[in-house]
Amino acid sequence: RSAVVEQMLARAAADASRPADLAPGFGMTPDGYRLSEAQAQAILELRLQRLTGLEQDKIVADYRELLDRIADYLDILAKPERITAIIIEELKQIREQYGDERRSEIVLNAEDIVLEDLITPEDVVVTFSHSGYIKAQPLADYRAQRRGGRGKQAAATKEDDFVDRLFVVHTHDYMLCFSSRGRVYWLKGYEVPQGNRQSRGKPIVNLLPLEADERINAVLPVKSFDEEHFVFMATTSGYVKKTPLADFSRPMKKGIIALGLGDADYLVGVAITDGTHDVMLFSDAGKAVRFAEEDVRPMGRQARGVIGMRLGDDQFVISMLVAADENQSVLTATEHGFGKRTSIAEYTRHGRGTQGMIAIQTSERNGKLVGATLVDDKDEIMLISTAGVLIRTKVDQIREMGRSTQGVSLISLDTGTRLAGVQRIFEAEDVAVAGNGDGSGDGDGSGHGTNGEDGESNAGTGNGGNGNGGNGTHRGNGQDAGGDDVDGKAWSGLDKD
């Protein structure tokens, strides 16, 4: 027996290791180990498998193996040549297991990797709500159904909110975000927060460095900043401007000036056009002017523009539309809840800079014009009152009438409540229309009056990738839209500081 075993047996025989209740004469003795009656009875009560586990030969064999391994490890540590031999053997095993061809490439000049290189290139559906919430969803979520299906919910909104714009954009493409202060900001498609059909998204003000009194009025997806397209803009004071789309090709984090604005002047409408269509401006006095885009020469970003519509005292432009389809109708709505549909063909060209023609009678019954938008028979619209009430109406239930008529009742309003605006509703089915464009379509620029709660106006969606135009006005968070008298001036479809 080894010295270690002798030491272990000697310690076991000592009185200090004896159980306290073991009677003298039992335990380790010079003749061997003597079991007490209690110990023998405990062994008899053990199960057979436990007795098998106490097999002495196995215990002795395991113990001897452990001692041999310890002796071998001590020998390895004491002999450097054994250590070297073991390392060589392990390296040979690694070579045999992983000795295939190199999969990576060693280059002298490593390329810089930017975040965009790690983004999966794909098309996403971006929804923008009336209250300014934005999110993106994979386009595949909308491709599972064919024509005639019931569609899918595009976004979850609160009771006082709805989807204002919906379009398809590539994750590596830009979106131009135009603010009420005449500035433009850039967002990449992958920068829009991803969400599911049940989520609302995130406020766009959290994604852009906006000032306190600044709101986003239009979001336009852009596939390429080419020389053939223009950004057409209109302001509340009747000025219009056409700037080459290529002038917006250099994004800056803090945004850039899209057009120069005078005092108390705000951006009311934006659309990307090809320079061949007609533009229509609507004033709160119930008049409209239609002129060709060619009547406005291209200008730089800093320019204020030229007069598109002459206005009387205390009158303002409340909507800008791009007439790209003569089969559509113009839906107009007044602050007292009346409105109508009129064929766009009845709005003839009058030339830029004129007072225009009557779009709807602004009689005492009707009040001022607060919104105008392009619609088709299959569309639906949302009417918003200054009390925050939203009414959803089908367009085909509204009669088509001539320009000089007063219209019919669109919404019943309580005393002291006015209609703040009207907006076409965009559903998930519209993805097929927005997604089929090649990025060169023209937006209809359709829009509405102002949200009386937060002073934000929003825009409609165009027919192609570059076709999401918009309009509406924000004048701070003072009086709500609807013609309330502020500082001796009547404001309709606007919020004034």
Distance CA 346, CA 165 (A): 27
Region 378-394: what's the mean pLDDT? 87
Higher-scoring residue by pLDDT: 135, 34: 135
Q: What mean pLDDT is predicted for residues 422-441? A: 54
Cα distances (angstroms) measured from residue 488 to each of 314, 483, 497: 10, 11, 13
What rounded mean pLDDT belongs to the chain? Answer: 79
With CA atoms as reference, report the closest residue to 177 among 137, 136, 134.
Answer: 134
- Band of pLDDT at residue 453, cut at 50, 70 and 90: very low
* 233 close to 269: Cβ distance less than 8 angstroms: yes
Mean pLDDT of 3-13: 62
Q: What distance, in Å, lies between the first and last C-alpha atoms of the chain?
A: 102
Cβ pair 281, 309 in contact under 8 A: yes
Cα Rg, the chain, nearest whole Å: 40
What residues contact residue 265 under an 8 Å CB cut-off, 6+ apart?
235, 236, 237, 239
- Split at pLDDT 50, 70, 90, the class of 168 is confident
| pLDDT for res 147 | 38
pLDDT at 295 over 80: yes
Centroid of chain to Cα 19: 75
- Residue-level pLDDT at 481: 34
User: Could you report the per-residue pLDDT of 197-250, keeping only the tens digit for each?
Assistant: 778 889 988 999 988 888 888 889 998 899 899 999 999 999 999 999 999 998
Q: What is the pLDDT of residues 88-115, one digit of tens each?
A: 999 999 999 888 888 888 877 766 777 7
Q: Rounded to whole angstroms, how far apart are CA atoms 182 and 173?
A: 22
Bridge partner residues of 29 (DSSP): 32
One DSSP character per residue, 71-140 reads: HHHHHHHH-HHHHHHHHHHHHHHHHHHH-S---S---SSPPP--GGGGSPP-EEEEEEETTSEEEEEEGG
Domains defined along the chain, listed by start: 3-98 (no CATH), 124-490 (2.120.10.90)
Tokens of 210: 């906006």
CB atoms under 10 Å from CB of 191, counted, come to: 16
**Is the pLDDT at 298 greater than 90, yes or no?**
yes
Task: State the pLDDT confidence band at 4, using cuts at 50, 70 and 90.
Answer: low
Average pLDDT over residues 14-42: 75
pLDDT above 90: residue 330: yes
pLDDT grade for 437, boundaries at 50, 70 and 90: very low
Count the Cβ atoms, other than its own, within 10 Å of residue 161.
Answer: 18
Going by pLDDT thresholds of 50, 70 and 90, the confidence category of residue 58 is confident
Tell me the percentage of the chain whose pLDDT exceeds 70. Answer: 75
pLDDT of residue 151: 44
- Give the residue among 13, 24, 2, 156 at the shortest CA–CA distance from 70: 2
Least confident of 57-66, 301-310, 457-466: 457-466
**Rounded CA gap, 331 and 375, in Å?**
7
Spatial contact of 136 and 124, defined as CB atoms under 8 Å apart: yes
pLDDT of amino acid 89: 95
* pLDDT greater than 60 at residue 430: no
- Surface-to-core class of residue 218, CB atoms within 10 Å of its CB (0-12 exposed, 13-18 middle, 19+ buried): buried
CA nearest to 446, candidates 307, 344, 350: 344
Cβ pair 330, 372 in contact under 8 A: yes
How many residues are given for the chain? 497
The arithmetic mean of pLDDT across residues 71-76, rounded, is: 93
User: 174-188, 244-258, 360-374, 431-445: lowest mean pLDDT where?
Assistant: 431-445
Average pLDDT rounded to a whole number, residues 277-292: 96
pLDDT at residue 348 tops 60: yes
Measured CA to CA, the distance from residue 43 to residue 167 in angstroms comes to 82
Q: pLDDT tens digit string along 389-427?
A: 888 899 999 989 999 899 999 999 988 899 988 988 866
Give the Cα separation of 258 and 303 in Å (integer).
9
Amino acid at 99: G
**Facing residues of 176 across strands?**
186, 220
Banded pLDDT at 9 (limits 50, 70, 90): low
Residue 173: pLDDT over 70: yes
Burial 101-127 (b: 16+ CB within 10 A, else e): eeeeeeeeeeeeeeeeeeeeeebbbbb
Per-residue pLDDT for 7 more than 80? Answer: no
> Residue 461 and residue 394: Cα distance in Å, rounded?
18
Given a cut of 50, whether residue 446 has pLDDT beyond it is no
Q: 273 near 294, Cβ under 8 Å? A: no
